[in-house]
Structure 1
Amino acid sequence: MNETMVTIVGNAATDVRYSTTSAGVPLASFRLASTERRYDRQQGAWVDGETSFVTVWAWRWMAENVVSSVSKGDPLLVAGKLRVREREQDGKRTVTVDIDAWALGHDLSRGTSAFRRAVRARPELVEQQPSWERADGGGAAVVPPGRVVAPV
């Protein structure tokens, strides 16, 4: 298995795009800009080098978390599988650089973040309750939330 795993530090250069595949799998993507910083001894200061742009792809639960957590301009760290593809489109050769993310988060060296654990619904652990009358006398039947039961 010769996969190229990378970690890139940068900023979200675009808003997150969210969609689902034809099979219903959640998918999120955005462009990440990573600018090289280096110390220039002649100037005695840090200077910006070239900026590289990559498209970051997140799938399934990570896609849902990314769309609710990442905004354009956010400082991020992204780790995942590097994919470089050459294509020909309209008679022009293009190269795309993508990362299939397996970990993604805010860069805490540049700010703070508040983590909230995502709660995943597990239908096999939910037992449905029958409807009942409202206690306030409104008479409308409501369905209570499912009750979590221990897995068998």
Structure 2
Amino acid sequence: MNEQTIVGNLTRDPEVHVSAKNARTVTTFDVAVNRRRFDRETGEWIEQTPVFHRVVTYGQLADNAAESLRRGIEVAVIGRFADDSYTAEDGTRRVRIVLEAEVVAPSLRWAIARPMKVSRDAGAPAEVSEEMGA
């Protein structure tokens, strides 16, 4: 099992594009995971170097992420790590590790979220229904 969970802040707004392979929506965003540890000798928290993750979402999750997320929002992401090859500006082939998300959720530590169900008929545009639990 390669399932991973990260919690961090979006470093930029999500970017949306359509896959040339299968015409499916793809949304990408970067999440900075800030870590700190408690130093028992000094009694203080020590900030460590943040780790940056590229997150990729597909289909309905990609649409919902693009609509819901903005730079600075803290999110929890569950997914699997995969490699993504691309051509750099200098023409060299490069590979980076991405987190292919299965679940993306806003953290309620510093924010309030009002979930809304989204219904989608085949070929029809998404319609947002009433707030859940209302």
Does the alignment reach a TM-score above 0.5?
yes
| Cα distance in 1 between the residues matched to 2:78 and 2:57 | 11
Q: CA deviation at 1:98?
A: 0.6
In our comparison, the structure showing a higher alpha carbon Rg is 1
**Structure 2 residue aligned with 1:13:** 11
Q: CA deviation at 1:104?
A: 0.5
Structure 1 alignment gaps of length 5 or more = 125-152
- Give me the TM-score of the superposition, normalised by structure 2: 0.78
| Cα distance in 1 between the residues matched to 2:24 and 2:8 | 27
Q: Which runs of 4+ in 1 moved over 6 A?
A: none
Q: CA deviation at 1:107?
A: 1.1
Q: CA RMSD in A?
A: 2.5
- Give me the TM-score of the superposition, normalised by structure 1: 0.70
Q: Secondary structure at the match of 1:28?
A: strand
Q: With a CA cutoff of 8 Å and minimum separation of 6, indicate the structure with the bigger relative contact order.
A: 2
Structure 2 alignment gaps of length 5 or more = 125-134
Moved more, 20-29 or 57-66: 20-29
Identity of aligned residues (%): 24
Alpha-carbon distance change, 93 to 37 in structure 1, aligned in 2, over 3 angstroms: farther
Q: Which amino acid aligns with 1:15?
A: D
Q: Please list the CA deviations of residues 82-140 of structure 1 after superposition, one character each: whole Å capped at 9, or x if unmatched.
A: 1256888549796622100000101112322111111212469xxxxxxxxxxxxxxxx
How many residue pairs match? The answer is: 122
